[in-house]
Amino acid sequence: MAYYRHHLFFCTNFREDGRPCCQNHQADQARDYVKSKIKELGESGPGRIRVNNAGCLDRCADGPVLVVYPEGIWYRYQQQSDLDEIIERHLLKGEIVERLQI
């Protein structure tokens, strides 16, 4: 059994050379929002859900991105409602959000 039911990694990479990166889309704020929401729902901690940042996940053209383990499902998001949908459907109900999957 996995230590966490779901483990999310948000790409928070910033490229100083001007190339596209997730941080150009406020990836840190998105990660913080999801982390806070998971805590509010009482779903954080061992056996539940963990939210982390990651360096470059090499999916810049699809960004901003996050990946959910242990399933290995990759998502792109554009707005807070996308993140809410991932939380509600995937993390809480176990449904893949196909419209956001990459």
Task: Quick: pLDDT tens for 11-27.
Answer: 999 888 888 888 888 99
Is 62 contained in some domain?
yes
Q: Domain total for the chain?
A: 1
H/E segment holding residue 46: none
Above 80 in pLDDT, residue 2? no
Let me know if residue 1 belongs to a domain: no
Q: Mean pLDDT throughout 18-41?
A: 93
Domain that holds residue 42: 6-100
Average pLDDT over residues 96-102: 97
The token duo for 10 is 């948000």
- pTM beyond 0.85: the answer is yes
Q: Is the pLDDT of residue 1 over 70?
A: no
- The reported pLDDT for the residue numbered 97 is 98
Report the C-alpha gap between 7 and 38 in whole angstroms.
Answer: 12
d(CA 10, CA 16): 19
Residue 70: asked if its preceding bond is cis (omega within 30°), the reply is yes
In a domain, 67, yes or no: yes
Residue 53 belongs to a domain with what CATH number? Answer: 3.40.30.10
Q: Is residue 38 part of a domain?
A: yes
C-alpha 46/C-alpha 20 separation (Å) is 34
Asked if 89 contacts 82 with a C-beta cutoff of 8 angstroms, the reply is: no
What digits encode the pLDDT tens for the residues 42-79?
Answer: 999 999 999 999 989 988 888 899 999 999 999 999 99
